[in-house]
Amino acid sequence: MRRHYLQIPGPSPEPEEVLRAISATTIDHRGPEFQALGMRLLADVREVFQTADPVIIYSASGTGSWEAALVNALSPGEEVLFYAAGHFATLWCEMAERLGLVVRRIEADWRRAIDAERITKILQGDAGGAIKAVCVVHNETSTGILNDIPAVRAAIDAANHPALLMVDTVSGLASAEYRHDEWGVDVSIAGSQKGLMLPPGLGFNAISKKALAASKRAKMPRSYWDWEAIMDANERGFWPTTPSTNLLFGLEVALRMLREEGLHNVFERHERLARATRAAVRAWGLELTCLDEEAYSPIVTAVMMPAGFDADEFRTLVLDRFDMSLGTGLGQLAGKAFRIGHLGWTNEITLIGALGGVEMGLRLAGVPLAESGVEAAMEVLAEKAPSPV
């Protein structure tokens, strides 16, 4: 008997309670039972974003939520500044170009965190305010880097620039600390399949008052993504189109579970699992993709394969022998790195199992290891009592 183990940086493993909720009989999405659910969810989801602002819930992936942010707040031909350090930052940037926006890229080392001073310098040179938005990724899963969003906000403020701040926190939300209001984010973009512990299918936009005002002036074509139409229906607990009813059942359970654990404890659990994973990588004698210690992701650890070894061949070996999926290297890191996800419905025991699979796979692949990474990880996890999940 074999069981598949999902250790990619999303979709993440789902709790049984969430899966049971999703499997319930679908109800009338125009009826009173759904209306009550909608009103509860639209209030409760704000807690994970740490916002009093509206949160839009789409039947969409995180990619759809990227597009929603751009088309609601901007007009064709307007300039947008992207910090393109990572695969997902680059994909979002390419989407903006296809939508007819004028993209200014900050090309940067994928193995380094965002240098906020580069943003300040560019904005200081934009005296006329041509740049309408600054777009960054909170947690870049392709590189295992968690970027400092308050520093980006401070960089915009230091230039005294009116640009909107748009942040992709698709993998960061409910896994790492995130404060939409306090950090001065105008549009926060998220998806259901990461820290929210759901299957793919729900996308989110948290929207500041400044972003809402911009949407009134914006001229990008939009219909399905239109914030105004959705917010009008949301006032009564409904959506203007058919929502993903059963995923919303699961979302309510996931939000309850996060609330019961406490967001602070959720973030501490992810940090702890990440420290253990990094200890394993160092014990093996391998190199982390992220070169900035202060920017290590609590959500995913990206690992460089030694010279002469192919990361995808290694991942295939692990999948074939142990039925465990590891994250592939993306973009510039294709074939050079693999990624270990430790987010969502994950605890100490599941992580040790995953690291055991990685260690066995490395040995079978002939990768020379300095010592046992599993033992190093266990030493980290034994430092204090485990957090219940």
Distance CA 88, CA 145 (A): 12
Q: If DSSP codes are grouped into helix, strand and coil, which group holds residue 86?
A: coil
Please provide the DSSP assignment of 182-211 as one string.
TTT-SEEEEESSSTT---S-EEEEEE-HHH
Supply the pLDDT for residue 222: 97
What stretch of H or E contains 316? Answer: helix 311-322
For residue range 226-248, list pLDDT tens digits in order.
Answer: 999 999 999 999 999 999 999 99
Supply the pLDDT for residue 383: 82
Q: What are the residue boundaries of the structural domains of the chain, listed by start?
A: 5-11+262-381, 16-259
Mean predicted confidence (pLDDT) in 325-340:
97
Mean pLDDT, the chain, integer: 96
Supply the pLDDT for residue 1: 54
Distance CA 38, CA 247 (A): 12
Token look-up 């990474």 returns 373
Mean predicted confidence (pLDDT) in 150-158:
98
Supply the pLDDT for residue 389: 53
| Cα separations in angstroms, 331 against 85, 147, 231 | 11, 19, 37
- Give the CATH number of domain 5-11+262-381: 3.90.1150.10
Token look-up 């899963």 returns 141
Q: If DSSP codes are grouped into helix, strand and coil, which group holds residue 139?
A: strand
CB within 8 Å of 1: residues ≥ 6 apart = none
CB burial class (10 A; 0-12, 13-18, 19+) of residue 115?
middle
> Does residue 49 carry a pLDDT above 90?
yes
Sign of torsion over alpha carbons 42, 190, 118, 126: negative
Percent of the chain topping pLDDT 70: 98
What stretch of H or E contains 135? Answer: strand 131-137
Distance CA 167, CA 369 (A): 38
Distance CA 324, CA 5 (A): 4
Distance CA 276, CA 292 (A): 17
Supply the pLDDT for residue 384: 63
> Does residue 388 carry a pLDDT above 70?
no
Task: Name the CATH topology of 16-259.
Answer: Aspartate Aminotransferase; domain 2 (3.40.640)
Per-residue pLDDT band at 3 (split at 50, 70, 90): confident
| Cα separations in angstroms, 352 against 128, 202, 267, 325 | 54, 30, 19, 15
Distance CA 255, CA 140 (A): 23
Mean predicted confidence (pLDDT) in 28-57:
98
Q: If DSSP codes are grouped into helix, strand and coil, which group holds residue 238?
A: coil
Q: Pairing mode, if any, of strands 102-107 and 79-84?
A: parallel
Can you say how many angstroms the Cα of residue 294 is from the centroid of all Cα atoms in its chain?
A: 18
Distance CA 325, CA 7 (A): 6
CB 146 within 8 Å of CB 293: no
